[in-house]
């Protein structure tokens, strides 16, 4: 069983469309994240949820809206997609309480906006 | 904001050689971590360091938490082809978010 699974793995879409990426973890972790990896491979945190509550919200356009229906799921919805949104989006999770920085990442969702 | 300077940016080495990479910061961190990302995959944790001066090994990998708490290094001994990938350092302060370095791309020539 995959610990952190994301769907879809690849997404190609037109500018202006709305799309969602889903993430599920079966590790029993309390904290989940979305990271964006750009073409230069730089990893930047976007959001973090702890037990369904938003705890980190970096400077991300409000076209990006995370949703956590329960602590095992964190989805990312993107409205009005732009060319600059093309990137690989990684979901990650870690146990709650003392945050050790020990993240478990999903395989990534490569988004290409045409 | 917090920034980690990771070097070198890339390395192309011969199989069997030892590899060394490091990460420095102007800020103090309480935790240093090293991750590896294989092509088409997400980063995977290699080593976590929680105490200044700590030296930790994981197989052929050795990492150290600098005594000043502002740096860390990762060594890989006797490199093999499957060591190729991107190595990221990451630092964290208590109750704060993880900050990643820009990565070191490792290529191994067999």
For A4-42, what is each residue's pLDDT tens digit? 999 999 999 999 999 999 999 999 999 999 999 999 999
Tokens representing residue B63 in the block: 């990492």
- Write down the pLDDT at residue B94: 73
Cβ separation A92–B42 shorter than 8 A: yes
- Write down the pLDDT at residue A53: 87
At residue A101 the predicted structure's pLDDT band, cuts being 50, 70 and 90, is confident
| Residues of chain B with C-beta less than 8 angstroms from the C-beta of A42 | 100, 102-103
Position A98 pLDDT exceeds 60: no
Position B1 pLDDT exceeds 60: no
pLDDT digits (tens, 9 = 90+) for B39-92: 999 999 999 999 999 999 999 999 999 999 999 999 999 999 999 999 999 999
What does the DSSP assignment read for A42-85? -EEEEEEEETTEEEEE-S--TTEEEEEEETTEEEEEE-S--GGG
Q: How far apart are CA A26 and CA A28, in angstroms?
A: 6
Tokens representing residue B84 in the block: 């190729």
pLDDT digits (tens, 9 = 90+) for B3-32: 899 999 999 999 999 999 999 999 999 999
Cβ separation B98–A101 shorter than 8 A: yes
Average pLDDT over every residue of A66-71: 93
pLDDT digits (tens, 9 = 90+) for B85-97: 999 999 998 767 8
- Write down the pLDDT at residue B2: 59
| Residues of chain A with C-beta less than 8 angstroms from the C-beta of B95 | 99
Q: How far is CA A107 from the centre of its chain?
A: 11
Strand bridging mode A10-13 / A109-113 = parallel
Q: How far is CA A48 from the centre of its chain?
A: 9
| Chain B CB within 8 Å of residue A39 CB | no
| Residues of chain A with C-beta less than 8 angstroms from the C-beta of B40 | 107-108
Q: How far apart are CA A6 and CA A8, in angstroms?
A: 6
Pick the closest to residue A78 from A68, A66, A69, A88 (CA basis): A66
Burial of B26-61, coded b for 16+ CB within 10 Å and e otherwise, reads eeebbbbbbbbbeeeebbebbbbbeebebebeeeeb
Nearest CA in chain A to B101: A42
């Amino acid at each position: 069983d995959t610990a952190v699974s994301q769907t879809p793995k690849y997404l190609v879409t037109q500018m202006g469309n709305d799309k969602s990426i889903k993430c599920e973890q079966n590790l029993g972790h309390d904290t989940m994240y979305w990271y964006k990896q750009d073409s230069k491979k730089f990893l930047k945190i976007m959001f973090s949820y702890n037990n369904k509550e938003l705890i980190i919200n970096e400077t991300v356009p409000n076209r990006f809206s995370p949703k956590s229906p329960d602590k095992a799921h964190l989805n990312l919805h993107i409205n009005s997609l732009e060319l600059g949104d093309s990137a690989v989006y990684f979901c990650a999770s870690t146990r709650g309480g003392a945050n050790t920085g020990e993240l478990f990442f999903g395989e990534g969702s490569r988004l290409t906006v045409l | 904001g917090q920034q980690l300077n990771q070097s070198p940016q890339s390395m192309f080495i011969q199989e069997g050689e030892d590899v060394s990479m490091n990460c420095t910061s102007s800020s103090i961190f309480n935790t240093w971590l090293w991750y590896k990302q294989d092509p088409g995959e997400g980063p995977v944790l290699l080593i976590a360091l929680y105490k200044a001066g700590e030296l930790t090994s994981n197989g052929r990998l050795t990492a150290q938490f600098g005594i000043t708490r502002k740096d860390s290094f990762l060594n890989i001994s006797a490199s093999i082809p499957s060591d190729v990938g991107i190595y990221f350092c990451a630092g964290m302060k208590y109750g704060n978010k993880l900050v990643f370095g820009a990565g070191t791309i490792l290529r191994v020539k067999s």
